[in-house]
Structure 1
Amino acid sequence: MKSFLSPAILGLSFLSSLSLPEHVLAFFSVPGVPTLRPATLSGRDRNNGIHLAVSPVCGPLSGNVSDVNAGIDIKRIKTIVAFGDSYTDGGRDDGGPLAPPVVVPPDAEAGGRSTDGKVWIEDIAEDIGATLKDYAQSGACTDLSMWPSAIKKVDFLGQMQTFLNQSNHLDPDTTLYAIFFGINDYEDSKTDGTANLQAAAKVILNQISILASPPTNARSFLVTDVYGRGTHTPEGDAMVQTIFSGLAELRANASASSKTKLNFAFAEFARIWDGVLDGDPGYKAFGYVSTDACIVDCTIEECTTDDMCDDPDHYFYYIPGHPSKEGHRIMADYVQEVLQRCVEE
């Protein structure tokens, strides 16, 4: 007698040949059939062998900074609106379709990105089948008026103005707003002084308040940080703590004053940088062969593929200070672990 596999089993068999994130696989689970895990699918061959070797440190949206998901159901998200700097910049800053994430030598930047492929927020959008509207700009800080030394004259306030001027009509229940700032504020503070790092934190909170108000009425926010990229200072840590505590206050105030529920997730990318650069567990545990940049032939205006390394997939940085596409992939994986594992009841 011939044995036939059900369509569900055949579908899972097909999925097992793909390198899909765990939360995506969960969408395809079938009663009575074990959900496949990334390790079952392709082990450490996924993402050219680069993988997370650290885990989120979950905690409540109160107290000290931790990884947390307070109310975001990623399966409901159909649109992601992203604000940020070069780590989130997909090569276009008006929310329109992004250029293909392909390197065309001698230009080292894939479609205008500061890496050799998709940035982390693109990976997340692709994983969940969401439309990405990206307003991030390379070199952006929170507010240029606070940082006279800023090299690139772009900031969160300008990105917000672009977004608001478009009068987008996005469903608050299915739209996630991703906000990733701090790196350039921290770098500028080395010249202009650290006093305004607290003000930078408040800019982020104020802009979230604007997004949560009419006409946008945003309800779900993902906030991330890696201000020092492996370096920690009391002033920088205090900035992150102010942001984190402010999110809890915004959530509590919204609920108390108008019965409106604001949903926040916070992902601390510093755990990746600390794990790679500080020797615990170290870069080799992630699959990297070097913590250096593969490409060093860069100016403020451009980076070229001249004299690039022979193994860009396994260098932590693609260009100075900017992770490779594999690094962006594990950043996306980290966020998705936070959304799955750090759910605040």
Structure 2
Amino acid sequence: MSNGQKTGSTPLPAVPNSEDPKYGGRASNGLIWIEQLGDELGALVRDYARGGAIVSSKLTPPAKEQSDMIEHVQVFLDQKNQIDAASSIAMICYGINDGVSASRRGATSLSSSAQELISQTELLIQAGIQNVVVLSPPKASGLFPEFNNIIWNGLKSLKAQTPSIQFAYVDFSALYSAINADPQSFGQDFLYARYESAESCLKSATSLDGACQNPDVYLYYIPNHPQKLTHGLMAQWADVVLSNCT
């Protein structure tokens, strides 16, 4: 999920545009989860994500041209950033669009994509990253259990090879499963409006026509893309998980 940038640069303000549903280039109506998590942690966020990205365009050819993790990692490496190993964290979240592409082609496994994700993560470690957080796709069914398991085991293998690295795994699918099972139970404990729908406020990613009156009570802002308060839940979820890592 992108904040509208793709090179780690400063994002545009998350403000509405009367002609575009995206707030400052974000596929949401406000700050995305990584920005909100950065605010909670007092951390500088440098986002290299791009909308619609997959792990590898060669392994899961998309219906139309899409960027991939290989490209994102290379952009970061080409910048030759000075990395503070103690305080820097690489947050890695891929899989949703790989699953869409695989399903379209009738594929029954994302194992190669999961293995490529580990290979790209290893490049980041070689560049000086010592803290790695992988975040699961928010879907728990279909191809993702195997995808997640391969990544988890791959991270453990990297840890065995390089004991100095620290890694964590945040399961967004557990959060989304709970929301979809009982949307109206979310809100009060998190100081947010209760969900009234697990659908999206807008019916299109390119138009404001037919917009709902109150995006806060919908799970998504545009189809399959969370609204800002859902992003807030994701940020809180990640923060709690990371705070309890041992």
Aligned to 1:111, the other structure's residue is in SS state: coil
Could you say which residue in structure 2 is the equivalent of 1:283? 183
CA apart distance, 1:118: 0.6
Checking the alignment, whether the CA contact within 8 Å between 1:105 and 1:304 is kept in structure 2 is no
Q: Is 1:135 aligned with 2:66?
A: no
Alignment of 1:153-172 (within 5 A): 153-172=66-85
Structure 1 residue 201 and structure 2 residue 110: aligned?
A: no
* Residue in 1 that maps onto 2:225: 322
Q: Distance in 1 between matches of 2:109 and 2:58?
A: 10
Please list the CA deviations of residues 31-63 of structure 1 after superposition, one character each: whole Å capped at 9, or x if unmatched: xxxxxxxxxxxxxxxxxxxxxxxxxxxxxxxxx
- Give TM-score scaled by structure 1 length: 0.67
- Following superposition, the deviation at residue 130 of structure 1 comes to 1.3
Alignment partners' CA distance in 1, 2:241 and 2:169: 8
- Indicate conservation of the 8 Å contact 1:139/1:151, yes or no: no
Give deviations 1:243-286, integer Å, cap 9, x for gaps: 0111111112212xxxxx11011100001111121x2xx00001
The alignment partner of 1:106 has SS state of coil
Q: Does 1:109 align with 2:22?
A: yes
Which of 194, 204, 209 aligns to 1:297? It is 204
In 2, are the aligned partners of 1:295 and 1:319 still within 8 Å (CA)? Answer: yes
Q: Is the 8 A contact 2:56 2:69 kept in 1?
A: yes
Report the Cα offset of residue 157 of structure 1: 0.5
C-alpha change, 1:292 and 1:195, in structure 2 (3 Å) is closer
Q: How many angstroms does 1:194 deviate by?
A: 2.8
Corresponding residue of 2:3: 90
**Secondary structure of the equivalent of 2:219?**
strand
Whether 1:274 and 2:181 are equivalent positions in the alignment is: no
SS of residue matched to 2:24: helix
Indicate the structure whose relative CO is greater, using CA pairs within 8 Å and at least 6 residues apart: 1
Report the identity percentage.
28
Q: Which runs of 4+ in 1 moved over 4 A?
A: none
For the Cα contact (< 8 Å) 1:144–1:150, is it kept in 2?
no
Query: Where does residue 49 of structure 1 map in the other structure?
Result: none
Distance across 2 between alignment mates of 1:276 and 1:313 = 14
The Cα of 1:151 is off from its aligned counterpart by 2.4
Let me know the Cα RMSD of the aligned residues. 1.3
**C-alpha offsets along residues 153-175 of structure 1, whole Å, 9 cap, x if unaligned?**
20000111111111111211110
Q: Among 232, 250, 255, which residue is 2:141 paired with?
A: 232
Secondary structure of 1:295's match? coil
